[in-house]
């Protein structure tokens, strides 16, 4: 089993959860923003990506850059 080391703190997770929910609600699920089908797919994928990274407390970009905001893993 693969163990993912958490690298996101609470503030990052909260911001990503709100942003991901907003992307899902504002794009594909409502008509708040006039978009075409491709834009809805892109907004939906970005929303799911943000929510899943918040749920896992792990960001791939943080891993590549060495950025870490998780309080237990500060170096």
pLDDT in tens, 22-66: 988 877 666 666 667 787 888 888 999 999 999 999 998 988 998
Give the integer Cα–Cα distance in Å for 64 and 61: 5
Give the integer Cα–Cα distance in Å for 65 and 75: 14
- Which of 2-6, 15-19, 29-33, 67-71 bottoms out in mean pLDDT, i.e. has the lowest? 29-33
Of the candidates 44, 65, 52, which has an alpha carbon nearest to the alpha carbon of residue 35? Answer: 44
Q: Is the dihedral of CA 25, 59, 7, 58 positive or negative?
A: positive
* DSSP structural state of residue 71: G
Cα–Cα distances (Å) from 6 to 24, 60, 62, in that order, read 24, 10, 10
**How confident is the model at residue 51, as a pLDDT?**
95
């Amino acid at each position: 089993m693969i163990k993912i080391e958490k690298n996101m703190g609470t503030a990052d997770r909260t911001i990503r959860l709100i942003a991901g929910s907003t992307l899902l609600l504002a794009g594909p699920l409502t008509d708040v923003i006039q978009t075409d089908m491709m834009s809805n797919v892109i907004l939906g994928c970005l929303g799911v990506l943000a929510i899943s990274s918040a749920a896992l407390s792990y960001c791939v970009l943080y891993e590549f850059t060495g950025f870490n905001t998780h309080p237990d893993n500060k170096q």
